[in-house]
Amino acid sequence: MFKNLTLYRIGPEGTPELSEIEHKLGQFRFVECGATQQKSQGWVEPRGQANGPLIESVGGQWVVKLMTEQRVVPGSVVKKRVEEMADQIEKQTGRKPGKKASKELKEQALLELLPMAFTKQSSTLVWIDARERLLYVDAGGQAKADEVASTLVKTLDGKISVSQFNTAESPAACMAAWLSDGQPPAGFTIDRECELKSSDEQKSVVRYARHRLDTEEVRQHILTGKTPTRLAMTWRDRVSFMLSDTFQIRKLALLDVVMESQKGSNKPAKDEAFDADVAISTGELSELVPDLIEALGGEQVMGSAGPGVAAAAQAVVAGSTSTSTSGASAGADAGADAEPAPWD
């Protein structure tokens, strides 16, 4: 159900009641873009049923969904129309439009072209674990996740506060230590994909895909100053994912051992499929995330820094030479799109 997760800590005030959240979301229900509207954003039914609830609760876990629609006008089309309008003005007045006039022409051209533009929709799932005071945004990038989290806070009139979840140990330093000594944290295994970047002026990058990582070559890259920015891992042979240096969990996939228990002779109804998908996904991730946080030294407490594995890895890097190396690639990225849920 979830492909990527960015984690936020909900403030000590917790979350409003389910009914209050439903009411607030209803005030910002998604409406398609108007003829001259460039972007529209609002909340839609997670289950996909028209006029259904805007927040779903399955096993005590809450799910909401933000929809974004944009009218896409290529910059080249706007530029061409502005040039046509500028030429017409020059013919009529004998002078080219100035800087201010050109800006106004651009705005005018965009308004003129918007009604003819194609629309593009995208949606983002948000999972709220009210009991643990955690909020998860299913977004591939930090900026998008922050935008969605901020939109939810504004929708709820500030009755919920969230902050970026930080771990005591740096994910990059921990990944470097795991790769250096070949010992992943308990319950986890290291898979066959990672990315290493140097912090020097050359910003060289080494990527491995479908490649063993317990090699001297990988350790040497770390010794010469390259830092892991993402690492493929598996948790208890149940969930595979990609951990980033900013503590984002990407490319989530439930493995066969999880899905086999859900196989049956009859295909579940759409409602049942949605409930099962939420229950399975949140059930597995509710156990994976605490284990991963523990492997990264626990949650960061303001004013403290975890010594542990990160300090050891940083000592290795600090003691290395600053020799720069050229960028290299040890294979192509091997990401695969997750199969759509049966209720999509």
Average pLDDT over residues 19-28: 97
Q: Taking residues 323-328, what's their average pLDDT? A: 36
Same domain, 158 and 35: yes
- pLDDT of 321 over the 60 cut: no
- Whether residue 147 is found in the same domain as residue 269: no
- Give the pLDDT mean for 184-207: 92
pLDDT of 108: 87
The pTM (predicted TM-score) of the whole model is 0.79
Q: Which residue has the tokens 């295909």?
A: 267
- Do 196 and 240 have their domain in common? yes
Tell me: pLDDT of 73 over 60.
Answer: yes
Comparing 79-88, 149-158, 314-323, the range with the smallest average pLDDT is 314-323
Instruction: Determine, yes or no, domain membership for 93.
Output: yes
How does residue 192 score in pLDDT terms, banded at 50, 70 and 90? very high
Task: Clarify whether residues 277 and 247 are in a common domain.
Answer: yes
Give CA–CA dist 228/268, Å, rounded: 42
Is residue 341 in some structural domain? no
Domain check: are 59 and 127 in the same one? yes
pLDDT at 89: 87
Of 99, 131, 164, the domain-final residue: 164
Same domain? 125 vs 204: no
Residues 93 and 150 in one domain: no
Q: Assign 337 a pLDDT band (cuts: 50, 70, 90).
A: very low
164: alpha, beta or left? (left if phi > 0; alpha if psi -120 to 50): beta
Asked if residue 261 and residue 201 are part of one domain, the reply reads yes
246 and 196 in a common domain: yes
Domain that holds residue 183: 171-330
Q: What number is the average pLDDT over the span 170-190?
A: 95
Q: Kindly report which listed range (81-85, 98-102, 173-177, 329-333) carries the lowest average pLDDT score.
A: 329-333
- Give the number of domains in the chain: 3
Cβ atoms of 156 and 16 closer than 8 Å: yes
Cα dihedral across residues 70, 76, 81, 86: positive or negative: positive
